[in-house]
Structure 1
Amino acid sequence: MAVNSELELLAARHIQNMSEAQSLEPHWGYLDRSLPCTNDAGSCAYLDQVYGSHDLGMLYSGILWATIGGILFLWAIGRRIWPSTQTDSIARGSNDNDKSSLRRLGRTIATYSRHYLLPDAVRPIFGRTTRLQVLILVALAGYLLIWSFIGIAYNIWITPVKNSPGLYNTRSSLGPWSDRIGILAYALTPLSVLLGSRESILSLLTGVPYQSFNFLHRWLGYIIFIQGSLHTIAWTVIEVRLYQPQPKTALEWICELYIVWGVVAMILLLLLFVLSTPWGIRLTGYEFFRKAHYVLAMVYIGACWGHWKQLNCFLIPSLVIWFLDRGVRLIRTGLMHYQYLPDGSMGFRPAHASLTHFLDPEHGDAVRLDLTHPQDAWKIGQHFYLCFTECSVWQSHPFTPLNLPRVQDGVVSHSYILRAKKGETKKLADLAFHKLSKSTTATTPLILTGPYGDSITDNLTLDANVLCVAGGTGIAYVLPLILSLVQQPATKDRKIQLVWAIRKKEDMRWVEKEIDTIQKATGSHGVVVNIYVTREAGSRNPSVHSEKKVDDVTVKETGANPTGGCCSAANNTRSAASIEVKRIGGEEGFDRHPDLHKVVHGFAENTVRGPTRVYASGPGSMISDVRTIVASCSSGGKVWRGNDRFDVSLTCDDRLEW
C-alpha cells in the first residue's frame, strides 16, 4: 500500500497515467516511472528530462564520492609507502638527505607552498584560515558547481492541465535542476558528518588532526544550506506560479506529507546555519551551540528521510558515522577510567587532580591541575578533553598537557594550565579558590577523554632549528617540545629559542618547575628564553636592568622597546643561569606585543645550518601574524640552491579554529 500511495503521489506531480502503465521502470533514488508515457508530447518530453537528469545526478554523486575515496586511498597509501622525514633523517643521516635531489625538490615545493598558501585568506569572510584551506574549499565548490548544471537539457514545455480546459502548466528545466542540487545536498551530508567527527576516520587515513577539518565542515554546511534554499525556492516558484490552477495547486502541494517534512528540514537547516555563524556562537555561547548542533543535525537528517527517503543511501551512512563517533568516544573514556576501585573491585573511577590557584582579578584567575593516571603515554602535541564533574558532567573542554608524557610505575603525570574566563573555567577557578581558602591543598575529580591530535615532532629532523612562540596559557603547547629537546643529546649548531608573551611577570609561576628545567639546560643546549611582559609598564631607561629571584628561577629584567625583537648578540652571551624578562607594556598598563616579525626573521637568518621549525600557540591574532611572517621567511628558490635556512615551516595549535 505504501508503494502504491507513493506512485500515486508521483503521478499527481508528473501527470503519469499509472492505470495505463504496461511496466514500471526503476530509478535509483527516485520512484518508478510508468511506461509507456501516454500523456501529451510536452509532458512526456518533460518526464524524459526529469528522469534522465535524476539518473545523471546519481551518477555524478557517485563520481563525487569516488573522487573523495580515491584521494583518501592514495593519501593513506602514500603515508605508509614513504617514510617520515624524521625517520629517514635518523636512518641515513641528515647530510645524505641534503645531497638528495629528490628530497631537495620536495623541500622546495613545500617551501613554495607555504610561502603562497600559509597566510590568512580574506579574513572578513573566512576568518583566521589559511589560503590552503580556502583553496580546497574553492576547488570543492567549483566541482559541485559543475555537477549542478551539466547534463540538463534546458527547455520549456507548455502542457495542458487535465480537466481544466484553457489552463496550461509551464514546465521547465528548473524542476530537474532543483532536483539535481537536492541530490547533491543529500550526497554531501555524510561528508559533512565525517568532517565534523572528533573520532575522525579522515584523521586515521590522512594523519591530519580532526580539528583541521572544522573549517571545511562549517563551510560545507553553508554550501548545503545554499543548495537546500535554492531547491526550496525553485520548487516553490514551480508549484505556486508555473502550475495551474492557482491557488488550488499550491495549497494541495504544501499540505502533502513529504513537503511538510521538507519544510521542517529547511527550518532546521536554517537554525543550524544561524547558530554556526561566529556571531551566532558569541550570542548563544559555544556550549549551547555545540549541544544544539548535535541535536539539530540528527533531527535534520530524520526530516530529510521524511522528505525523500528514496535517497536514504546518503542518510544511513550519516547516521552510522554520527553514532560511531559518539560510541567510540564513550568507549575510549570508559576504558581510560576502568580501573581498580578503593574496595579492590574494578569499575569506573575518575582521576583526581590537585589544584593550584593564581589570583588575577584584572585578567582572570589561572588554575593549574596536576594529576597521575594509569594509561599509555600520549604524543607531544596531543590534547585531552577534560570534564570537571564538580562543575558539570555535560561539558568537556580541550587542554594540552604541558609536561612530558612519561610512564613511571604504570602511571603518567598530567599537568594543565587554564585561564578562567567564563563558563566552566570560571566555575573551576571559583571552586579552587573556595577549597584553597579552607585548606592548603585541594583536589577535584575529572574525566579525561583522548588523546586527540597528532605528534608535532614527527617532521622534526636532528638538524632542525626550533623556535617556539607562545602567548599566555599557549605555553602548554610548546613546553613539552622544549623539555624533550633539552633532555636529548645536544646537536651542534642547532638553535632553540622560546618566546613567551605574558601579561604579568607573576604569570611565570604557572610553569615555574618546567622553566627551571629549561633554565638548567641553557648552557648545554644553547636554549634562549625570552619572556615578554605585556601589561606591566616597562622601565623608563631601557639600559637599566636588575636580577630577581622568582620561585627558584633567576630572571634578568630589562626595559625594552615595545617592538621587542629577537635576542641580540649580547643576550645570546648572557649567563646560562638567567632568563631574560622584557617588560614591554606601556606605562598606562595596556598591551604591547613583541615584534614577531623581527623575532622570526632574526631567528631564521642567524641559524648556521638546517631548516627552521616554528611552533606557535596563543591568541588568534598571534597565530595569524606568525603565519604571515613564516610565509614571508620561506623561499623556495633559496632552498633549491641548498640554503635550508629558508625552509621555514609552522606548526600551530588550531583547536580553536572553529
Structure 2
Amino acid sequence: MSPYLHPRGVEQPAELNRRAKFLDGWNAADHDSLAYSWGLTGVDQDGNYLWVDVFLFTLLGLGIVLLTLRFCNMFWRHTRHLAAMGNEKQAYWETNQTTWWPWLNRHLLQAPLHKKKHNASFQISSAIDNGTLPGRWHFIMLVIYVAMNLAYCLALPWSNPEHASIIAALRGRSGTLAALNLIPTVLFALRNNPLIPLLQVSYDDFNLFHRWGARICISEAIVHTVCWIHNTQAGNGWQAVADGLRDEESYTWGMVGTAAFVFLGIQAWSPFRHAFYEIFLNIHRFCVMLSFVGLYLHLERHALPQVPWMHLIFLFYGGELLMRGVYILYYNFRLKSRSSIKVEALPGEAVRLTIDLAGSWHPRPGCHVHMYMPALALWSSHPFSVAWAYPPAPSSKELTFSALEGGVPATAQQPTKQISLICRARTGLTRKMYEKACRAPNTHFSTWGFIEGPYGGHHSLDSYGTCVLFAGGVGITHQVMYLKHLIEGAANGTTATQRILLAWTVPDSECLEWVRPWMDQILRLPGRKRVLRIKLFISRPKGRVENHASSSVQMFAGRMSPDTLLEQEMASRVGAMAVTVCASGAMADSVRAATRRHLEAGSVDFIEEAFTY
C-alpha cells in the first residue's frame, strides 16, 4: 500500500504538505479553484472504484461466456473427430444439430458489418490504405466497449454546485479509466497473449481490440490532461500551468506520457502504419516505452492507487519480451551453431526462404513465424506462414524397416530442423531480399538470420469429412501443410478426412513454381488420389492455358468463383465441411460471402487466416 494513501485513496499529511507547497504564493482567492487541480482533491474516488469494479466484472462475465462457448465448440469437434475418423459414412455430421448456432454464426459471428466488405481495405492509393471494416460481432463489442467508457466518464456528481469540482471528478474518472484500459490494450498487443490458444481467437482479432483500446486510452488521457489544465489555468492563469509542469515531477511526467500517447495515436493511423510499416514499428516501440515511463512516474510521484496496475502492465510487457527471447534462443542458437537462411529468387517476384534451425521443433499446420534478417532489416521482423517443414533424414534402421514393410518411415510428427517460407516482393525487407537474390550468383544467397515462433496453427481440420482450402497467390503457404497432414491422416485413419479441394488462384502459371517441389511430394502420398482434388486458376494468363494433368488436378484461365465451387462441394460433401481461406482481402471476403449462404444448410465452418497488421 502506498505510504500516502489509505486503501480508498485518502491523502496523507506528507501529500497534503506537498499540495500546500504547490499552492503557496498564489492569492488566497485562487486556492479553491487551483486546489482542484492537485492530487485527489475533488476526485470522486468512491465512484471511480465502483465503475472500475463494474467494468471489470462486465469484462469477466463476457470472458466467461466466450470461454464457455469455445469449450463447448471444442468438445463438439473432438467428439466428432473420434466418431468420424476413418469412417467413410458421416451422414449424421453433415447436418446441423441445432438451429440457433448456425443462425448466430451466419448473421452475427461470421457476418461483415455491411454487405460483404470486411478484410478488403479502403485504398487511398496503390501503396496506402485506410484500414478495414470490423465484422458485425466485432463492431457490436466495440460499440459496447466505447459506450461503457463514455457512460462511466459521464457518471459524475453533477449536483455539486462547484464547477471546478465536477471538472476534477472528470479528471479523476478519465485518468482512472485510461490507466485501466491500458491493461487489456497491452495484453491484446502481445504475440504470446495466453488468450489466443485458450479461446482459439486469432491474433488479428485481438490486434483489432488493441487498436481500439489504445484509441480509448489516448482519448481519456487527453480528457484527463485538459481537465487538469482547465482547473489550473482557472486558478491563476497559464503561469500556474507552466509552473506546475516545471516544478512538479508528477505533472511533468504526466504531460510526457500524454504527449507520447497522442503521438502514438497519430503515428498508428492506418495510412502511416501501412506505408512505412518497418519505421512505424521501431518508433512505436520507443514511444510505448516512453508513455509507460511517463505514466508510471506520474502515478508514483503522487502515490496514486493505480500504481499496481502499472506493475501488472510491466509484468505483461516484460513477460512478452522474455517469451520471445526464449523462443529465439531455443530454436536458433546453440553453443557451436546458429540458424542460417538461404534466400532464392523465384518467378513472379517471390523468394523462397529455407531456414536451417539450430534447435528442433514439431511442425503444425497453419502456423507462422516472425523472421529476422539483421543484414537487411536490422531488428525488424516479418510474419510468414510456414510453407513446409522438412522431416529429418531416416536412419539406416528406419530405412531397413521401411523396405521390409513396403512403406516409408512415418516422419510427419517428428521434430524438424529445416523449414521453408515463401514471400512476395512488396516493399521494405521483402523487396530487398528479392533484388539481392536476383543479383547473386545462381539467383540465391545465404545469410545469418533467425525466427521467432511458431505462432498460430490452433485450428484443427481433423474432424471434418470435407475440407475446402482456398488460396490466393502466396496464401498457398498457409494451406500446403494442411494438405500433407490431412492426406496422411486420411490414409492412416486418424482424421475424418474424405474429400479435400484445393482452389488456388495465381496471376500466371510461373507462380506455380513457388510450391512445385512440395506439391510433387504431396501428389505422391499414399491415398492422395482418393481424397484430393486441385483446381488452379490463372487470373492473368500470358498465353493459352492447357490442362495436361489428371482429372484430380485441373487448370483454368480466369478468376475462380467461390459460389460455384462451394455449390458443387455442398452437393457431394461427406460429413461436416470446413472452408478455409488465406488470400487477399477482396478474395477472402468473396469466400466468406459464399460460405455464409451455406451455414444454415449444413454443418459448415468458415476459418480465415489474415495478417491485417
Report whether the alignment pairs 1:233 with 2:226: yes
Amino acid at match of 1:382: C
Report whether the alignment pairs 1:302 with 2:293: yes
Distance 1:182 1:424, change over 3 A: same
Amino acid at match of 1:320: L
Show the 5 A alignment for 1:89-168: 89-93=80-84, 104-105=97-98, 108-121=100-113, 127-150=132-155, 152-157=156-161
> What secondary structure, in the 3-state scheme, does the structure 2 residue paired with 1:153 have?
coil
Amino acid at match of 1:322: Y
Distance 1:5 1:608, change over 3 A: closer
The higher relative CO (CA closer than 8 Å, separation ≥ 6) is in 2
Report whether the alignment pairs 1:613 with 2:581: no
TM-score (normalised: structure 1):
0.75
Shift of 1:185: 0.3
Do the aligned residues in 1 keep the contact of 2:92 with 2:575 (CA within 8 Å)? no
Report whether the alignment pairs 1:358 with 2:334: no
Q: Equivalents in 2 of 1:507, 1:517: separation in Å?
A: 18
Q: Which residue of structure 2 lines up, in the alignment, with residue 290 of structure 1?
A: 281
Q: Which residue of structure 1 lines up, in the alignment, with residue 589 of structure 2?
A: 624
Do the aligned residues in 1 keep the contact of 2:366 with 2:456 (CA within 8 Å)? yes
Q: Which residue of structure 1 lines up, in the alignment, with residue 266 of structure 2?
A: 274
Shift of 1:516: 2.7
Do the aligned residues in 1 keep the contact of 2:546 with 2:555 (CA within 8 Å)? no
Q: Which among 600, 605, 612 is matched to residue 649 of structure 1?
A: 605
Amino acid at match of 2:154: F
Q: Deviations over 1:458-486 (max 9, x none)?
A: x54142x1111111111000111122222
Q: Which among 161, 173, 196 is matched to residue 166 of structure 2?
A: 173
Q: Deviations over 1:615-644 (max 9, x none)?
A: 111112222222233223322xx4xxxxx2
Report whether the alignment pairs 1:431 with 2:444: no
Q: What is the total number of aligned residue pairs between the two structures?
A: 553
Do the aligned residues in 2 keep the contact of 1:402 with 1:476 (CA within 8 Å)? yes
Distance 1:445 1:598, change over 3 A: same
Distance 1:109 1:12, change over 3 A: farther
> What secondary structure, in the 3-state scheme, does the structure 1 residue paired with 2:575 have?
coil
Q: Equivalents in 2 of 1:66, 1:97: separation in Å?
A: 43
Shift of 1:280: 1.7
Gaps of 5+ in 1: 16-38, 159-169, 340-345, 540-544, 548-553, 556-573, 585-592, 639-643
Q: Which among 312, 320, 341 is matched to residue 325 of structure 1?
A: 320
Gaps of 5+ in 2: 5-11, 25-30, 123-129, 395-414
Report whether the alignment pairs 1:414 with 2:419: yes
Distance 1:143 1:291, change over 3 A: same
Q: Equivalents in 1 of 2:37, 2:519: separation in Å?
A: 74
Q: Which residue of structure 2 lines up, in the alignment, with residue 594 of structure 1?
A: 560
Q: Which residue of structure 2 lines up, in the alignment, with residue 513 of structure 1?
A: 517
Do the aligned residues in 1 keep the contact of 2:37 with 2:232 (CA within 8 Å)? no
Do the aligned residues in 2 keep the contact of 1:357 with 1:433 (CA within 8 Å)? yes
Q: Equivalents in 2 of 1:334, 1:57: separation in Å?
A: 44
Do the aligned residues in 2 keep the contact of 1:268 with 1:300 (CA within 8 Å)? yes
Do the aligned residues in 2 keep the contact of 1:111 with 1:648 (CA within 8 Å)? no
> What secondary structure, in the 3-state scheme, does the structure 1 residue paired with 2:597 have?
helix
Shift of 1:536: 2.3
Q: Equivalents in 2 of 1:46, 1:275: separation in Å?
A: 30
Q: Deviations over 1:262-294 (max 9, x none)?
A: 2222211111001111112134x1111112111
Shift of 1:214: 0.4
Q: Deviations over 1:288-322 (max 9, x none)?
A: 11121111111101111232321212211111211
Distance 1:110 1:412, change over 3 A: farther
Distance 1:254 1:289, change over 3 A: same
Distance 1:601 1:14, change over 3 A: farther
Amino acid at match of 1:516: D
> What secondary structure, in the 3-state scheme, does the structure 2 residue paired with 1:104 have?
coil
Do the aligned residues in 1 keep the contact of 2:487 with 2:528 (CA within 8 Å)? no
Shift of 1:9: 4.2
Shift of 1:404: 5.3
Q: Equivalents in 2 of 1:14, 1:189: separation in Å?
A: 32
Amino acid at match of 1:534: S
Q: Equivalents in 2 of 1:609, 1:290: separation in Å?
A: 46
Q: Deviations over 1:532-578 (max 9, x none)?
A: 11222565xxxxx744xxxxxx54xxxxxxxxxxxxxxxxxx634xx
Q: Which residue of structure 1 lines up, in the alignment, with residue 211 of structure 2?
A: 218
Shift of 1:371: 4.2
Q: Equivalents in 1 of 2:48, 2:70: separation in Å?
A: 33
Do the aligned residues in 1 keep the contact of 2:200 with 2:459 (CA within 8 Å)? no
Do the aligned residues in 1 keep the contact of 2:90 with 2:575 (CA within 8 Å)? no
Q: Deviations over 1:412-459 (max 9, x none)?
A: 441211112222112222332333348xx75333212111113322x5
Do the aligned residues in 1 keep the contact of 2:351 with 2:433 (CA within 8 Å)? no
Report whether the alignment pairs 1:575 with 2:551: yes
Q: Deviations over 1:484-542 (max 9, x none)?
A: 22223369994321111111101111111233344456873242211111222565xxx
Do the aligned residues in 1 keep the contact of 2:324 with 2:452 (CA within 8 Å)? yes
Q: Equivalents in 1 of 2:34, 2:522: separation in Å?
A: 80
Do the aligned residues in 2 keep the contact of 1:262 with 1:304 (CA within 8 Å)? yes
Q: Which among 19, 41, 47 is matched to residue 56 of structure 1?
A: 47
Q: Equivalents in 1 of 2:340, 2:589: separation in Å?
A: 36
Do the aligned residues in 2 keep the contact of 1:379 with 1:405 (CA within 8 Å)? no
Q: Equivalents in 1 of 2:573, 2:221: separation in Å?
A: 57
Q: Deviations over 1:154-174 (max 9, x none)?
A: 03535xxxxxxxxxxx53412
Shift of 1:366: 3.3
Do the aligned residues in 1 keep the contact of 2:367 with 2:457 (CA within 8 Å)? yes
> What secondary structure, in the 3-state scheme, does the structure 2 residue paired with 1:535 have?
coil
Q: Equivalents in 1 of 2:241, 2:159: separation in Å?
A: 23
Q: Which residue of structure 2 lines up, in the alignment, with residue 452 of structure 1?
A: 455
Q: Which residue of structure 1 lines up, in the alignment, with residue 388 of structure 2?
A: 403
Q: Which among 315, 324, 332 is matched to residue 310 of structure 2?
A: 315
Amino acid at match of 1:429: Y
